[in-house]
Structure 1
Amino acid sequence: MNGMKTTMLLATLTALFMALGYTLGGSGGAVIALLAAAGMNLFTFWNADKIVLRMHDAREVDAQSAPDFYNLVRDLAQRAQLPMPRVYIIDQDAPNAFATGRNPQNAAVAATSGLLATLSRDEVAGVMAHELGHVQNRDTLIMTMVATIAGAISMLANFGLFFRGGDRESGHANMIASLMAVVVAPFAAMIVQMAISRTREYGADRAGAEISGDPHALASALAKIAGQAQRIPNPVAERNPAAAQLYIVPTHVSELFSTHPATEKRIAALQDMAAQMGAPAMTSAARASALSPAAPPPRRRSALDPHGR
């Protein structure tokens, strides 16, 4: 059902792109828009992960360069019965993480050094399990494709505002069509993009809680990340606002225009899930790690902090 809904929403975005092309260039414009949408989807299919990782200056790590973090992701991938993804660290203070790749066999997960330094081991496990949930649900490719088409609709609409032609007999109709192209189409694309992403964030939260076995840890991580995401600058998101939708918690975006549900609602859903699983609420200091035999003593920084801060 979720896959069918996503397919319908993607088809709606493509139809909007074609309608905008028709408004600006007639039947020829619609054909060009369809070909452009197909070309963008094909390019994104093969290159989405490379584009995103290069955008963030992410560096790949392995069992030798970041053993704690790499082994944690490996254990979670085994629990989820997924191929081992490539693992990256982004040298950035803002705590966040994302997943990318066209399928589970070509997936990559990344976390910022700020996230590894801020969260406990259990919380990092919850976050990375959430990202593996996106991989498991095949969200990463879909969301990148949606963002690409939605961005193209907005760009084409802005282009049409300045270059649309017409004659005096159809001037009024052209004015209305231009208004529709510039205002309605980008807004509709934004709504469809948000609908897809919000649905899938709830799905990834649920999958992540199941993979890690600890909904409370993911809920705690979301609260910590949200508290700092609006306070610590994220240079990549500031340069490329579309990148905000990739993160587990978007940065500097109002709830109305966010591609993610409100963090409070996600935490409430995870708490409900924990109650259904019979998991008692515990503090992070008392919670035993889902991936280690015993709980580590309370400490001021994460054991996964790659820089030892």
Structure 2
Amino acid sequence: MFNLAKTAILMAVITALFIFVGGVLGGGQGLIIAFLLAVGMNFFSYWNSDKMVLRMVGANPVDESNYPKYYQMVRELSQKAGLPMPKVYIIEEDAPNAFATGRNPENAAVAATTGILSILTERELRGVMAHELSHVKHRDILISTIAATMAGAISSLANFAMFFSPKDSEGRSNPIAGILVMFLAPLAASLIQMTISRAREYEADRGGGEISGDPEALAMALRKIENYVKGIPFQAIEEHPAVAQMMIMNPLSAGGLRGLFSTHPDTEERVRKLLQMSKTGIYPN
């Protein structure tokens, strides 16, 4: 089961990693600068995460007049979940996917691609939107955005190791430390981001099954989305890969290191848990 304390610890670790890299590259001064940057990025992400992500993927707001069934579905599921009505967005994109964003349930947004609306039945789409509203209900939509921001920043900071050799305590150049930071820091950040995201997806599947009352529908939707998403590129996510972890299904190619460090759990394992929940009423650990 998703553990908020565990996620908070992981977020603290990824922030500490950013500060550590700053210290390795710039000594005491670098440590202070990295700390101030980390505080600033977390603060900025808190207030602007939804706007940043929605702009990146080209999402447009919709209402009952232009997407009545989709909008009414989100409203009905929100009421069932005891949530305020989120803002509803559509992404003109053939790749089937959906996500939720925002800093809290009062300032949340859900978005779906035109592709997912076209391939799923109404029952399956209900399961998907219930999954996204579960992210909202558990208040983990902000965590994923901050994790993505910090992971990207660590990778950018580590790139400086290519141009600025770190100094040891006596001010001497230490190229070995630079090489280690350049490769290991982004790797560690990816592992932490992956751990946070995978835990979130399992919990959102469970919560989505509860909100919709139909975990089997979500299981069917996940299988169908996976079959389509492999062959249809999601251009906006290819350009902003850090956002991939927020989607209900990883839209990036699973080849090479991307597959090894996938931010999403195995689809068949997600389906297995949901089908068991459908039979027994209990989501397995």
TM-score (structure 1 length as normaliser): 0.86
Report the CA distance between 1:137 and its aligned residue: 0.8
Q: Which residue of 2 aligns with 1:237?
A: 237
Q: Which residue of 2 aligns with 1:305?
A: none
Aligned partners of 2:176, 2:93: CA distance in 1, in Å? 46
Q: Retained in 1: the 8 A contact 2:57–2:237?
A: no
Aligned partners of 2:16, 2:101: CA distance in 1, in Å? 26
Aligned partners of 1:204, 1:59: CA distance in 2, in Å? 24
Aligned partners of 1:269, 1:87: CA distance in 2, in Å? 28
Report the CA distance between 1:166 and its aligned residue: 4.9
Aligned partners of 1:252, 1:21: CA distance in 2, in Å? 29
Aligned partners of 2:32, 2:199: CA distance in 1, in Å? 31
Aligned partners of 2:117, 2:167: CA distance in 1, in Å? 57
Report the CA distance between 1:176 and its aligned residue: 2.4
Instruction: Return the letter of the residue paired with 1:270.
Output: L
Instruction: Return the letter of the residue paired with 2:78.
Output: A
CA RMSD of aligned residues (A): 1.6
Aligned partners of 2:25, 2:233: CA distance in 1, in Å? 39
List alignment gaps of at least 5 residues for structure 1: 279-309
Q: Which residue of 2 aligns with 1:35?
A: 36
Aligned partners of 1:42, 1:187: CA distance in 2, in Å? 24
Aligned partners of 1:27, 1:46: CA distance in 2, in Å? 29
| CA offset digits 1:218-255 (Å, max 9, x no partner) | 00000010111110121111111112112100113323
Instruction: Return the letter of the residue paired with 2:278.
Output: A
Task: Map 1:1-309 onto structure 2 (within 5 A).
Answer: 2-164=3-165, 166=167, 174-254=174-254, 255-277=259-281
List alignment gaps of at least 5 residues for structure 2: none
Report the CA distance between 1:165 and its aligned residue: 5.4
Secondary structure of the structure 2 residue equivalent to 1:184: helix
Secondary structure of the structure 2 residue equivalent to 1:163: coil
Q: Retained in 1: the 8 A contact 2:24–2:166?
A: no
Judge which range, 260-269 or 244-253, deviates more.
244-253
Report the CA distance between 1:113 and its aligned residue: 0.7
| CA offset digits 1:74-103 (Å, max 9, x no partner) | 000001000000001111111110000000
Runs in 1 of length 4+ with deviation above 4 angstroms?
none
Instruction: Return the letter of the residue paired with 1:123.
Output: E
Report the CA distance between 1:210 and its aligned residue: 0.3
Aligned partners of 2:134, 2:253: CA distance in 1, in Å? 23
Instruction: Return the letter of the residue paired with 2:177.
Output: A
Report the CA distance between 1:25 and its aligned residue: 0.7
Report the CA distance between 1:175 and its aligned residue: 2.2
Judge which range, 40-49 or 252-261, deviates more.
252-261
Aligned partners of 1:12, 1:114: CA distance in 2, in Å? 37
Report the CA distance between 1:135 and its aligned residue: 0.4
Aligned partners of 1:177, 1:18: CA distance in 2, in Å? 15
Q: Retained in 2: the 8 A contact 1:133–1:204?
A: yes
Flag the 1:46–1:166 CA change in 2: closer, same or farther, 3 A: closer
Q: Retained in 1: the 8 A contact 2:27–2:167?
A: no
Secondary structure of the structure 1 residue equivalent to 2:174: helix
Aligned partners of 1:165, 1:174: CA distance in 2, in Å? 5
Report the CA distance between 1:164 and its aligned residue: 2.3
Aligned partners of 1:108, 1:37: CA distance in 2, in Å? 25
Task: Flag the structure with larger Rg.
Answer: 1
Instruction: Return the letter of the residue paired with 2:3.
Output: N
Secondary structure of the structure 1 residue equivalent to 2:248: coil
Q: Retained in 2: the 8 A contact 1:236–1:243?
A: no
